[in-house]
Chains A and B, each alone.
Chain A
Amino acid sequence: MRHWAQRTHLAGLVALTVTACARGEHVPARGDVAVTDDAGRRVTLAAPARRIVSLLPSFTELLFAIGAGDRLVGRTAWCDYPPEAVAVPSVGDGMPPSVEAVAARRPDLVVLYRSGPNVTAADQFERLGIRTVLLDLNLLEQLGPAARRLGRLTGHEQTGDSLAAVMDSLAAEPPIPSTRSLVFIVWDNPPIVIGGGSYLDHLAALAGARNVFHDVGSPSAQVAIETIAARDPDVIAVLSDRAVAPRYATRPEWRAVRAVRNGRFLFLPGQLFGRPGPRITEAVRELRQRLQGGP
């Protein structure tokens, strides 16, 4: 059993090398590739990365979108898109990353979201001789730069740059006049909503919806039900794969909110809306449609 697993593993490796060689045009002439990551570190690789572990679903999607999906040798348990990603071995939930599980994939590059525990983990990888890149990905504006740098690190500069250009222009787009107002409720007790400094806020604006908590600067904030009722959004946006009214919908204190009373819930699948990624245009289009169609 173990032998078989090792053999298929080996076969995969050979196949990977072959395809990489066949697409020789992606591999630039020998020379360093270098980017500066969001932790301010200079990340230099002798050659484009060939064995990548992605520790965030958004990075996994970006890597596939720029044509570097075949370089992935590890992903998190949450990385479920595109479908091919599921075939890549999982290294756990990544919160915090299991350094051993990742190292066992023998990567030459680990892509991490810049957070406290991940910075620590990156140091540990570097000590093991594994190169790492720490990228921010909280806002729409950060998608372009991430795509550009991932393109450089994987030798897919062209596709990376062109994806980045699309993202950048989308980020710079003026919001279309809003026709509806909405609130993103992430948790009900205490109520946590999405604020202005967030990807979802920007996404809503591009789709023609005004986040009623746009004035709250942080990505998310605890608020009172009273405040939600006073700001009176047309629609409650819920990140959920199932179109089932959240459990607080029947609680009496929530019925002070008009949209709850009227059952105006908009269910947004987490895979498309829950993370910033290359499918943002699709997300904007779908949100706009769903808002116009009315929930």
Chain B
Amino acid sequence: MDRELIVAVGDLTCRYAGAPRDALRGVSLDVRAGEFHALLGPNGSGKTTLLRAALGLVRPVAGRAEILGRPAGEWSRRDLARVVGVVPQREENLFPQRVHETVLLGRYPHLSLFGGVRAADGAAVERALIACDAVDLADRWLWTLSGGEYQRVRLARALAQEPRLLVLDEPTTSLDLRHEMELFELVRDLVDGQGLAALMITHHVNLAARFADQVLILAEGRAVARGAPADVLTRETVERVFSWPVAIEPFDGRPQMIPLRRHPS
């Protein structure tokens, strides 16, 4: 089945003003509907830059970054927000806010300039809350939520945008095992059940291997490997990229990584 190409990044090179070297160098990435992509790499390897460039926030020096066949930089933010929902790594909460208000922010790209919130918007918010198992949280204040609940609510906000592509930047940092697994399961379900495309930056090599269809590993701005987890996550690659000795064991047909002690006892 030839699924629709949503993100098409080809030979992308980016450099921040005044930086001594390229933040990205010749990176390519295609994300299709119904695919779950994981983006792996050590800190500073260019993961977030790739995400920003793919979404038109960083202008590339060379190469192309297209969303649905149109250069990312040509999209208006509003039109793009109807196609791509993002759960950013960080955001500010200056003023107190309730959960349903936060999720409603995801409808903003669909609202007209002075028009009110329509029934369809309410329904979209409801669907997003149900999908993220957050209906019970709707009337809670944001600051009373646990870390896992808060991430579910932010994912619901991105879903309320009714996007074709979900982008998540390290969404499970600081979550415990259960909440982390729940989030990965949720994203997998959305991809399988609703045909969404997902692109997730994560440091969890093993969970990426278990859940993702495709893995892209970046190091120092270059793509080190790209493909199905079983093809990409070899011992040589992982050790080289993360500079640490590991063993790779298959589990459920997927590779799993076990970090080794430096001096085995």
In the complex they form, whether A and B have CB atoms below 8 Å apart is answered with no
